[in-house]
Amino acid sequence: MLSCVLAESGTRGPLDVEYASAITPGELVRERVPAYGFPENAARALGRIAAYAAWRQQPPALYWTFDDLHPDEARDLCRAAVDSRGAGWLTGEETRRVLNAFGLPLVPTVLARSADDAAALASVVGYPVVAKLQTRTLVHKSDVGAVQVGLTSERAVRAAFRDLTAIAVNHPPNPDEGEGVVIQPMVSGGVETMIGITDDPVFGPLVAFGLGGIHVEVLGDVRFRIAPLTDRDADALIRGIRGYKLLQGYRGHPPVDIDALRELLLRMSRLAEDVPEIAQLDLNPVMALSPGNGCRIVDARIKVSPRRSGVSAPAMATTTVAT
Ligand code: ADP
Ligand code: MG
C-alpha cells in the first residue's frame, strides 16, 4: 500500500496507521505506509516494485559448461606462443587449434601452396568457395583486395590464387606457420555478426557481441559483458544490440539461430576464463544462419600476452551440456 498526502511543508511520510485485523477479531494492526507528496512519485515507486517482482520470478541464471572442451590444449598452445615469441598475434594454424579446442564452429580453412593445389582443394571443399590471403602482417584483408568471395569455377580459383600471390609480395606469409592463400567454403544467407574477447584492466575478460562484417566499425553496434557469462547474460547481450531486429527476421529474411549464438557466446566465455593469455580475440564475421543451421566463423584472430593475474573465477552453479 502506498499513500499520497498533501500536507504542510516539512511534514514527511511514512504515515502511521491503525486498523482492525481482518484475521484476528478484536486485534488492532499498526503499520507504516510510505507517503509521497505527488502521485507521480508514488507511481514511480510502484513501477520499481513491479519490475523487482518480475526480476525475482525469472528462473535462475546458469553457467554452462560443455563436455567437449580441451582447455589444457588451448592454454599450452597460447603459453608456448607467448614464451617463444612474446605478446602478439597467433598464426592461422594456432588460431584454428584454439578455436577447435573449445568447439567453436570455424569453417574448414585449408592452405593452398600452388594454383593446382587451390583448384584441387576447391573441388574437395565444394563450390562456391572463398579464397583469401592469411598472414599475421595483414589485419584487414578486404582493405587490400585479399578476400575473393563467390568463386564458382576452377578457372576463377586459379585466377584468385594468382591475384592473391601478387598481393602477398607486400604482405609476406609464412607457409611454415600455415599462412598463405587459404580456401574456404562460401557461407551464404546468414546475418554477419561479431563475437570477441577483450581484456579490461579492471574487470578482466569481457565478451563482446555485435553486428559484424566489414561494416561493423561504421555502425559500432557492439555490447560487452564481464566473463563468466550466464545463459541470461548471453541472451541480454544478443537482445541488447540495436540491430537485434535483423536477427529476428525482417522483410522476408528468415530469423537466425539464436540458440546457436547463445551457445557460441557461452563457449567464448569459457575460453576467456580458461585461457588468461588471451588478450584479444575477434571472430568477425560469424555468419548466423537460420534456426537449426547454427553459425559459422569465417574470420578469426587471437592476440596473446603474458598471463593475467589476480582475477579468479567466483564459485559457480554450473550445468553441463552434453554434445
Ligand atoms: P577481413 O576482415 O580481414 O577483411 P574477412 O575474412 O572477414 O576479412 O572477409 C571480409 C568479408 O568477406 C566478410 O565480412 C564476409 O562478408 C566475406 N567473407 C569472407 N569469408 C567468407 C566466407 N567463407 N563465406 C562468405 N563470405 C565470406
Ligand atoms: Mg573479418
Q: In the chain, count H helices and then E strands.
A: 9, 17
Nearest in space to 273 (alpha carbons), one of 313, 323, 239: 313
Q: How confident is the model at residue 267 (pLDDT cuts 50, 70, 90)?
A: very high
Q: Which ligand is nearest to the CA of 196?
A: 2
Residue 320: per-residue pLDDT: 65
Q: Which ligand is nearest to the CA of 133?
A: 1
Ligand 2 centroid – CA 212 distance (Å): 8
Q: In what order do the strands lie in the sheet with 147-151?
A: 110-112, 180-185, 129-134, 147-151
**Residues paired with residue 148 on neighbouring β-strands, in sequence order:** 131
Q: C-alpha grid cell for residue 193?
A: 555478426
pLDDT digits over 136-194, tens only? 888 889 999 999 999 999 999 999 999 999 999 999 998 888 899 999 999 999 999 99
Q: Which amino acid is at 320?
A: T
Could you identify the atom of ligand 1 that is nearest to the CA of residue 147? 9
Residue 15: per-residue pLDDT: 84
Q: Which residues line ligand 1 (CB under 6 A)?
A: 107, 130, 132, 140-142, 147, 149, 184, 186-187, 192, 213-214, 284-285, 298-299
Could you identify the atom of ligand 1 that is nearest to the CA of residue 142? 4
Ligand 1 centroid – CA 186 distance (Å): 9
Q: CA angle at residue 88 from 83 to 91, to 5 degrees? A: 90
Class of residue 20 by CB neighbours under 10 A (exposed 0-12, middle 13-18, buried 19+): exposed
How many Å apart are CA 35 and CA 201, to the nearest integer? Answer: 45
Average pLDDT over residues 114-143: 95
Q: How confident is the model at residue 315 (pLDDT cuts 50, 70, 90)?
A: very low
Ligand 2 centroid – CA 274 distance (Å): 25
Residue, of 310 and 11, whose pLDDT is higher = 11
Going from the C-alpha of 238 to that of each of 143, 219, 221, 231, 233, the distances in angstroms are: 28, 16, 11, 11, 9
Residue 308: per-residue pLDDT: 65
Weakest-pLDDT range from 74-83, 122-131, 175-184: 175-184
Q: Quick check: 65 pLDDT over 50?
A: yes
How many Å apart are CA 68 and CA 101, to the nearest integer? Answer: 8
Task: Record the pTM.
Answer: 0.84
Ligand 1 centroid – CA 90 distance (Å): 19
Per-residue burial over 81-114, b if 16 or more Cβ lie within 10 Å, else e, is bbeeeeeebbbbebbbbbbebbbbbbbebbbbee
Nearest in space to 2 (alpha carbons), one of 17, 24, 22: 17
How many Å apart are CA 246 and CA 73, to the nearest integer? Answer: 36
Q: How confident is the model at residue 9 (pLDDT cuts 50, 70, 90)?
A: confident
Q: Which one of 147, 171, 186 would you pick to mutate in the ligand 1 pocket, going by the greatest count of ligand atoms within 8 A of its CB?
A: 147
Please provide the distance, in angstroms rounded to a whole number, between the alpha carbons at the two ends of the chain.
50
Contact 230, 62 (CB under 8 A): yes
How many Å apart are CA 286 and CA 192, to the nearest integer? Answer: 6
For atom 13 of ligand 1, the residue with the nearest CA is 213
Ligand 1 centroid – CA 213 distance (Å): 7
Going from the C-alpha of 262 to that of each of 53, 161, 219, 295, the distances in angstroms are: 26, 36, 22, 10
Going from the C-alpha of 192 to that of each of 64, 209, 251, the distances in angstroms are: 25, 11, 17
Cβ neighbours of 19 (radius 10 Å): 10
Cβ neighbours of 232 (radius 10 Å): 14
Residue 274: per-residue pLDDT: 95
